[in-house]
Chain A
Amino acid sequence: RKEVEQDPGPFNVPEGATVAFNCTYSNSASQSFFWYRQDCRKEPKLLMSVYSSGNEDGRFTAQLNRASQYISLLIRDSKLSDSATYLCGVGNDMRFGAGTRLTVKP
């Protein structure tokens, strides 16, 4: 089993849609969780940290489920500019999943 696994995607959604991605991790001792966004041929950039109680940043909501060892990212009211690959990063040694590609269409 891989240390970090993500929904393979790709996700193709219309503008205004709500979309959710999941990411599972194998190390139950992990304490740090993040979502990064990576545009084509660019470096990953931090989208948001994921806190135990869940957190929201505008249209983005992140959740952590320690019992089932997964984190999720919910994007509401999708914009064309949300099209990117979303990476989850887990643990002090920051292991990443393979990424989930999102395309938002007009």
Chain B
Amino acid sequence: EAGVAQSPRYKIIEKRQSVAFWCNPISGHATLYWYQQILGQGPKLLIQFQNNGVVDDSQLPKDRFSAERLKGVDSTLKIQPAKLEDSAVYLCASSDRRGSPLHFGNGTRLTVT
């Protein structure tokens, strides 16, 4: 079974620039999550999709972050404009249904200078 694919692996941008991350979940997985993990902290849920609908985006800073999951398969997370405090690893995860164990991608390490 192919795992969760994420790209890019690393990204360095200057503050106020824009950046986008891409995630392709495990085939057939209906639920997709984006997390932000700052060094030394646990993963913080940004947004959860069930198929192509948003289940929870209560912790997504909507003034600068946006995410979509067109056609209920792959997903993109965008930051515009980036701030220094957005430097983190952005993890995508998927599961076959809500409440099931998550499978994580390798993550995208973002550095904002």
Contacts and interface: CB of A to CB of B under 8 A. Distances in A.
B99 A96 contact: no
B45 A45 contact: no
Contact of A92 (B93, B99, B107): B99
B84 interface: no
Range class of the A interface residue count: 20 to 34
B104 A95 contact: no
Interface residues of B, number: 23
Contacts of B91: 43-44
Contacts of B80: none
Given A34-B101, A49-B101, A87 B42 contact: yes
B12 interface: no
Given A31-B99, A32-B99, A43-B91, A94 B45 contact: yes
B42 A97 contact: yes
Nearest to A30: B99
A4 B91 CA distance: 19
A45 B104 contact: yes
Interface of A: 4, 6, 31-32, 34, 36, 42-46, 49, 87, 89, 91-99
Given A44-B102, A96-B35, A96-B44, 4 more contacts: A32-B99, A44-B43, A87-B43, A94-B95
